[in-house]
Amino acid sequence: MIRFLQTQGPTKKIILSGILLVICGAMVITFIPGGLTSELTGTPGAGVVAKVNGDDIKSDEVRQTARQMAQQDAQRYGEMAAKIMPFLIQQETTRAVDQMINRQALLSEAGRMGLRVTPAEVKDELQHGRYAATFFPGGNFIGQAEYEDMLQRANLTPTKFEQAVGDDILLTKLQALISGSANVSDSEIHDQFIKENSKVKFDYAVLKQDDLRKALHPTDEELKAFYESHKASYANSVPEKRKVKYAVVETGKAAADVQVTPEELRSYYDQHRDQYRLPEQVKVSHILIKTPLPGPDGKVDEKGVAEAQRRAEDLLKQLKSGAKLEDLAKKYSEDPGSAKQGGSLGWIGKGQTVPEFEKTAFSLPKGQTSDLVKSGYGFHIIRVDDKQEAHTKSLDEVKAEIEPVLKHQKGQQIAQQKAEALLKQARAQGLDAAAAAQGVSVITSDFFARKDMLPGLGPAPQFMDAVFGATEKSPPDVAPASQGIVVFQLLGVKPAATPTFEEIRSRVEEEFKNERSSILLSQKIQELSDRAKASHDLKRVAKEMGATLKASDFVLPDAQVPEVGSMSGQAAVAFTMKPGEISGPINSGSNAVVLQVIENRQPSEAEYAAKRDQIRDQLLLGKQQERFGLFVSSLVDEMTRAGKIKRNEEEIKALSRNGSEQGM
């Protein structure tokens, strides 16, 4: 489903990455009463983050989508996931808003252009697309009751779910319509090939900023003059600092003695059963012999197709005669991603490959090799190495995953209750007395800046926001931190200040040396280049000016050369120079170089023939993504200017803030 979702690139991120992060997850379209809108102004009201062509995108929808996105992000963090979930949700909220606005704008435009989706297309997608393993395991429907029950657990009805599936199909049609006309000419392919595969060898002279910096010994008068001339940059550079005393109710300690009952484990498992569903998968290896892509006129080189088929048939005969697929794949397969792995694609699920490949891969028995399978990419020979039927992990299999989550949740509840009681008592009797009564230690800090870290708290941006938002003599308050919940009292404030020269003399000296050495580096490398060009002798001038002279090997445009850096940056000029030519100054961070080209080496036509199709595919995909990305950006901008998209910035800010504070 939506092959567009399988591609990587900015367009994918702009449009659809918020859709179906997990089965049915981000597809929740909740129609909740409320969200009052001014009928006179048409501006979004409370509970509505945006209006797109008259349709509301509601806070609840964004909240659900952002949470699903954050849950996917959290999988990378293991045991830390629960603690940082509020921050992940806050991060994903703005992205979810943008994605949902873009999606609704595209659906609106698809309708305006007359694109439609039939019930038959939706049915086919459910039966044969990415949902087949869930709703049609082994090709058999799970039954209407189970289907509705599964959707109900995701807060969906069949009507809403199937509408969302239809919307995704509609977006696929729109994407194909917009980007389908992209094409790549032979000259573009050849130019890109030359650009990627040309090699150059050169000598280069290097000057280092560190060497110039070490030779600088500024006087106090020079430093004071520098301080005065840069005084504006030092204004209030000593940050505001605050002093507090605080007590931490640690979530970890609260959770340590928590017991999780079998009933709680079962309840959590039943509520999150979808997370433990494993789709049908196959482990496959293949050999691909590519066929020519259609030309700009849409025609396919039939002779090229026949030649590809002949080569593929020859490989199939070798396999049937006892040759190893791994050996043939490494030598002949034209799928660069799997050829080096002996043709192995690893485990794949439905919806990850083109239909022709998928149909064969999932129908073959384990250990069997297919005949030729033709797809839009070419001719495949497919071997099924292993199979896994769709199934749901048992409670026993996932118990070890669930128990820490439940303990943490219960620990949070206990910590929250204890912190609330501590705060109430602190406001009545003072923090010291309240903490003593509760058996919690009180820590009194020194003055600290917002970016500092306090003992026992770990990273605590919400706590710092609360402390630096409090007023002097305010009563005790509470704020979350990564280690638990903190009850604190503000003791003092030191406003931001401008330091005297004496207070920051060492900093001034560092900045003086950095600035002066950078200027000297630019001057000296320009002089080196000018003199080398005038004398046509880089080696002699480099020696006279104390530069280090080095020589490169033959390098490609994507190479990294020591002290030059990436050859795709300023040093790319070397690929446009003739042997003997000397470059202008090239800055590479704290180094600067001047090049003299020794030799250029162009790739052969045989290399071009081998890489032509791969380069064409890459260029075509890039053009398609760029075209659709520009279409999306232009569409959203145009609809915004026309008043068809109205964003409620206050609601978005509140949603992000509340999501972080409450974990949504």
Q: What is the pLDDT of residues 547-573, one digit of tens each?
A: 999 999 999 999 999 999 999 999 999
Cβ-in-10-Å burial (0-12, 13-18, 19+) of 501 comes to middle
Residue 130 pLDDT: 78
As a residue count, the chain comes to 664
Mean pLDDT of the 597-611 span: 92
Whether 205 contacts 549, CB under 8 Å? yes
Identify the residue with better confidence: 421 or 36: 421
Residue 138 pLDDT: 77
Query: Does the structure show a pLDDT above 60 at 29?
Result: no
Mean pLDDT of the 48-69 span: 85
The whole-chain average pLDDT of the chain stands at 86
* All structural domains of the chain: 3-183+622-662 (1.10.4030), 199-212+503-601 (3.10.50), 241-271+395-494 (3.10.50), 281-388 (3.10.50.40)
What band does 34 get if pLDDT is binned at 50, 70 and 90?
Answer: very low
Whether 194 contacts 495, CB under 8 Å? no
Among the listed residues 169, 368, 384, the one whose alpha carbon sits nearest the alpha carbon of residue 285: 384
Q: What is the pLDDT of residues 425-471, one digit of tens each?
A: 999 999 999 999 989 999 999 999 999 999 988 888 999 999 999 99
Q: What is the pLDDT of residues 308-342, one digit of tens each?
A: 999 999 999 999 999 999 999 999 999 887 888 99
Q: Report how far apart the first and last C-alpha atoms of the chain are (Å, whole number).
A: 30
CA distances from 315 to 309, 322, 363, 382 (A): 10, 11, 22, 12
What band does 60 get if pLDDT is binned at 50, 70 and 90?
Answer: confident
Residue 82 pLDDT: 65
Query: Does the structure show a pLDDT above 60 at 3?
Result: no
Q: Please report where in the chains the tokens 């849409």 appear, as a residue.
A: 298
Residue 478 pLDDT: 95
Whether 310 contacts 355, CB under 8 Å? no
Q: Which two tokens stand for residue 592?
A: 């600067």
Query: Does the structure show a pLDDT above 70 at 242?
Result: yes
Whether 6 contacts 354, CB under 8 Å? no
Whether 196 contacts 189, CB under 8 Å? no
Residue 9 pLDDT: 36
Proportion of the chain above pLDDT 90, given as a percent: 57
Using DSSP's 3-state secondary structure scheme, residue 181 falls into: coil
Query: Does the structure show a pLDDT above 50 at 388?
Result: yes
Query: Does the structure show a pLDDT above 60 at 660?
Result: no
Identify the residue with better confidence: 663 or 50: 50
Mean pLDDT of the 220-228 span: 96
Least confident of 70-74, 364-368, 376-380, 610-614: 70-74
| Residue 346, phi-psi category: left (phi > 0), alpha (psi -120 to 50), beta (remainder) | left
- Bridge partners of 281, per DSSP, are 349, 388
Query: Does the structure show a pLDDT above 80 at 485?
Result: yes
Report d(CA 125, CA 170) in Å as an integer: 12
Report d(CA 327, CA 576) in Å as an integer: 40
The DSSP output letter for 373 is E
Residue 36 pLDDT: 30
Query: Does the structure show a pLDDT above 60 at 18?
Result: no
- Bridge partners of 50, per DSSP, are 57, 647
Report d(CA 231, CA 228) in Å as an integer: 5
Q: What is the pLDDT of residues 131-149, one digit of tens each?
A: 887 888 878 888 898 888 8
Give the count of beta carbons closer than 10 Å to the beta carbon of residue 322.
6
Mean pLDDT of the 598-611 span: 92
Q: Which two tokens stand for residue 541?
A: 């001038």
Query: Does the structure show a pLDDT above 80 at 15?
Result: no
Q: What is the pLDDT of residues 164-188, one digit of tens each?
A: 999 999 998 999 899 888 889 999 9
Mean pLDDT of the 509-529 span: 96
Which of 395-404, 588-597, 647-656 has the largest mean confidence? 588-597
Name the amino acid, one letter, at 36.
L
Among the listed residues 3, 110, 116, 104, the one whose alpha carbon sits nearest the alpha carbon of residue 61: 104
Mean pLDDT of the 43-70 span: 82
Mean pLDDT of the 379-404 span: 91
DSSP 517-532: HHHHHHHHHHHHHHHH
